[in-house]
A and B are shown apart, each in its own frame.
Chain A
Amino acid sequence: MQLSEKSRQRIAPWAAVVILVMIWEATVRLLDVPEFIFPGAWATAQALVTFAGPIGVHSWQTFWTTMVGFGIGVVVGLVLGFIIGSSKFLYHACYPLLVGFNAIPKVAFVPILVVWFGIGSVPAILTAFLICFFPIVVNVATGLATLEPELEDVLRVLGAKRLDVLLKVGLPRSLPYFFASLKVAITLAFVGTVVSETVASNQGIGYLMMSAGSQMRMALVFAGLIVISAMAMVMYELFAQLEKRMTAWAHRGQR
């Protein structure tokens, strides 16, 4: 049966997943790796089903803390990016500071957050926020700062105020940058939450993996990994679709 180019493209990512899982299972079986070291795909799938209940509870915890942290990250990122991007002076003044802040491993913040807020959801939310707002700030600020002077002149000859220029030209023009950064930020937010949960929580997928690992139940640990990446992939795809819909004008070459 001949498949069209389009449907082949649609099937390709699923095929890649299936092939990877098969290689995984085959490697484990051929090398006869014990399950408490490196469980195969089948053992991991069994763990996923057996512990569906606890996994569900902990994934929900991870999911909502990530989304709250991400939400704060979007708001703060947008506001900061807007402020920094709207003035050349601020852009130059704040950029090195932001880069320096971004270079700090966010896991180093977790102990501080625990001292301030105790263990639980709050450090997880804040770690997710700290790790995900940077790409949003940078993208929004860059989108605004790289505004073509010609487009600006169109409004300036009409006597437009700075704010007019920002709202009518700067903001719409930086939307593609903003949506592109959301895709990066959402996956980073999951990283932040899970990192914090492994260190300072008694809930969430990160905690589940940590405690399962200490009991040598590696299949459950791997089940946790699969769940995190599945959640991140779904959210990524969601924001990719949103991006396509909101900024179709910027992707005209791909239609």
Chain B
Amino acid sequence: MREANTEAPFVSFDQVSLAYDGSGNAIEDISLTVEEGEFVAFVGPSGCGKSTFMKLCTGLHPPTAGSVRVDGEPVTGPLKISGMAFQNANLLPWRTTLDNVLLPLEIVRPYRSQFRKRRTEFVGWARDLLRTVGLEDYEEQFPWQLSGGMQQRASICRALIHRPRLLMLDEPFAALDAFTREELWCVLRDLWESQRFTVVLVTHDLREAAFLADTVYVMSRRPGRIIERRTIDLPRPRELAITYGEPFTTLVQSLRKQIGEIRGT
């Protein structure tokens, strides 16, 4: 399926800084690499430039200094191989769930030119995705008829429908209640286990980061720098139950302590 590119990392940041205006850098001197198929999470206190990192990675914003490369190519504009889900589901209210999920296929090449011809096939893809997240009975409903959790599931389906190699998640579960959140962790875990796309997850939930990711980056306060890279070597597939036992709790504790120190300074 995918060309295994073992030479260069899939995503690489080389001394990247970004300043929106004269008020100083939002993020500063970020250097890191993400391998294809890796699940990385970024945690840090609020306002540390996590969302800025996202914008750089997807090409929504160019860096002020340094370079960002994805799949060996320097990022110059919005990426075509990425899908993104936000804190708010941002579903279009005039489209049904199914049509919302199909939206990227109407935009992204090469699907957009084939959209009419292959519509039935594409609808099949969307149905399959919606089934895996448990929304098969809500295809024809409009977004306002869905609960917050369901909207977020649909939003993740939309981020995945065009089979992106890089999935960007910007605090996608932050607005949900604790039970729904944990449920969606498992949905995301299963999707990732079966398709192994690369995931960049930005979150302020340490348990979420530790449960889902291979690597957790801890960011400092503004200007955001990476102050710690931690590999999570818990065996996979991970069950939700591990989040309530050792060594998971110790791990989260130490991350928690680190963030506390940043906030304290």
By a beta-carbon cutoff of 8 Å, the part of chain A in contact with chain B is 150-151, 153-160, 164, 168-169, 172-173, 175, 247, 249-250, 252
Determine which of B86, B90, B108, B168 lies in contact with A159 in the assembled complex, contact meaning CB atoms within 8 Å: B108
Collect the chain A residues with CB atoms within 8 Å of residue B108's CB.
158-159
Collect the chain A residues with CB atoms within 8 Å of residue B103's CB.
154-155, 168
Task: Tell me whether B60 and A156 are in contact (CB under 8 A).
Answer: yes
Task: Tell me whether A157 and B78 are in contact (CB under 8 A).
Answer: yes
Identity of the chain A residue whose Cβ is nearest the Cβ of B164 in the assembled complex:
A158
Task: Tell me whether B79 and A159 are in contact (CB under 8 A).
Answer: yes
Task: Tell me whether A158 and B60 are in contact (CB under 8 A).
Answer: no
Task: Tell me whether B82 and A157 are in contact (CB under 8 A).
Answer: yes
Q: Which of B83, B84, B107 has the most CB of A within 10 A?
A: B107
28 residue pairs of the A-B complex, CB under 8 angstroms, read: A150-B88, A151-B90, A153-B90, A154-B92, A154-B103, A157-B58, A157-B60, A157-B79, A157-B168, A158-B80, A158-B104, A158-B108, A158-B162, A159-B77, A159-B78, A159-B79, A159-B80, A159-B108, A160-B107, A168-B103, A168-B107, A169-B92, A173-B92, A249-B93, A249-B142, A249-B144, A250-B93, A252-B144
Task: Tell me whether A153 and B107 are in contact (CB under 8 A).
Answer: no
Identity of the chain A residue whose Cβ is nearest the Cβ of B155 in the assembled complex:
A154
Is B94 at the interface (CB under 8 A from chain A)?
Answer: yes
Identity of the chain A residue whose Cβ is nearest the Cβ of B54 in the assembled complex:
A157
Collect the chain A residues with CB atoms within 8 Å of residue B80's CB.
158-159
Task: Tell me whether B94 and A172 are in contact (CB under 8 A).
Answer: yes
Collect the chain A residues with CB atoms within 8 Å of residue B128's CB.
none
Task: Tell me whether B60 and A159 are in contact (CB under 8 A).
Answer: no
The digit string for B94-111, where 1 denotes a CB below 8 A from any CB of A, is 100000000110111100
Task: Tell me whether B93 and A153 are in contact (CB under 8 A).
Answer: no
Collect the chain B residues with CB atoms within 8 Å of residue A249's CB.
93-94, 142, 144
By a beta-carbon cutoff of 8 Å, the part of chain B in contact with chain A is 58, 60, 77-80, 82-84, 86, 88, 90, 92-94, 103-104, 106-109, 142, 144, 158, 162, 168
Task: Tell me whether B92 and A159 are in contact (CB under 8 A).
Answer: no
Chain B: minimal CB distance from A58 (Å): 42
Task: Tell me whether A159 and B142 are in contact (CB under 8 A).
Answer: no
Determine which of A150, A158, A175, A250 lies in contact with B107 in the assembled complex, contact meaning CB atoms within 8 Å: A158
Task: Tell me whether B86 and A153 are in contact (CB under 8 A).
Answer: yes
With A156-B78, A157-B168, A159-B79 as contacts: A172 and B92 at CB distance below 8 Å: yes
Task: Tell me whether A168 and B86 are in contact (CB under 8 A).
Answer: no
Identity of the chain B residue whose Cβ is nearest the Cβ of A152 in the assembled complex:
B90
16 extra A-B contacts, CB within 8 A, seeds A157-B79, A172-B92, A173-B92: A150-B86, A150-B88, A153-B84, A153-B86, A154-B84, A157-B58, A157-B82, A158-B80, A158-B83, A158-B162, A164-B107, A168-B92, A168-B107, A249-B142, A250-B93, A252-B142
Identity of the chain A residue whose Cβ is nearest the Cβ of B168 in the assembled complex:
A157
A175 to B92, CA, bound (A): 13
Chain B: minimal CB distance from A179 (Å): 13
Collect the chain A residues with CB atoms within 8 Å of residue B142's CB.
249, 252
A37 to B79, CA, bound (A): 75
Collect the chain A residues with CB atoms within 8 Å of residue B58's CB.
157
Chain B: minimal CB distance from A114 (Å): 45
Collect the chain A residues with CB atoms within 8 Å of residue B88's CB.
150
A156 to B88, CA, bound (A): 16
Determine which of B82, B107, B144, B162 lies in contact with A155 in the assembled complex, contact meaning CB atoms within 8 Å: B107
Determine which of B60, B79, B92, B162 lies in contact with A151 in the assembled complex, contact meaning CB atoms within 8 Å: B92
Collect the chain B residues with CB atoms within 8 Å of residue A151's CB.
90, 92
A155 to B58, CA, bound (A): 12
